[in-house]
Amino acid sequence: MMAVDSSLCSCGSKKKYRDCCEPYHKGLRKTCHSPLEVLKSRYSAYCHDDGEYVLSSWEEHFRPKVSAKKMIREIKSMKYTGLKIHGVVYTDEAGENAQIYYTVRYRVGTAFGESSSISNFVKKDGVWYYTDDVAKELVPFMTAAFKAESVSEEENKIPVQV
């Protein structure tokens, strides 16, 4: 059996957490390159119970009015076990609005599950933010738009700024 490096980032980049999502979580790096940076760094924040980052990566007009402590309590109710990104679609000509179709795997107690979502992202003042999710009942009807825009393994990696 192969040993798993527990210091690898949860986002699936195969990089060490300290070289991948941790700089986002500590405020040392902004999500300037793509909505994928936001999605993956938010997923990693959920894995690390980082309610502060989850809230800060939410666009201010959509951000829930809850404390980071309450966000952490909600986050801790689930153990996140995997992220698969199916595709990204830019929804305007300027490339400042995007949607990402993805599936998250999780565990609650001894039960395992998965949930597919389409999330909206916006670029504001040069930084990408999460806004909200498309209504769950619309997800099955919207997934065809993502087939042509599927994410390659290379695109699925978060670019690292130095």
pLDDT tens-digit series, residues 7-62: 899 999 999 999 999 999 999 999 889 999 999 999 999 999 999 999 999 999 99
- Give CA separation, 71 vs 87, 93, 108, in Å: 27, 34, 16
Scan for tokens 């009015």, then name that residue: 65
Closest CA relative to residue 100, chosen from 145, 161, 47:
145
The count of residues in the chain is 162
Q: Chain-centre distance of CA 125, in angstroms?
A: 20
For the chain, list the strands marked E by DSSP.
79-90, 97-108, 111-124, 127-133
Report CA Rg, the chain.
Answer: 15
Q: Side by side, which strands form the sheet with 111-124?
A: 79-90, 97-108, 111-124, 127-133
Q: Chain-centre distance of CA 155, in angstroms?
A: 14
Model confidence, pTM: 0.83
First to last CA, the chain: 35
pLDDT in tens, 62-108: 999 988 888 888 778 889 999 999 999 999 999 999 999 999 999 99
What is the structure's pLDDT at 160?
Answer: 38
Three-class secondary structure of residue 142 per DSSP:
helix
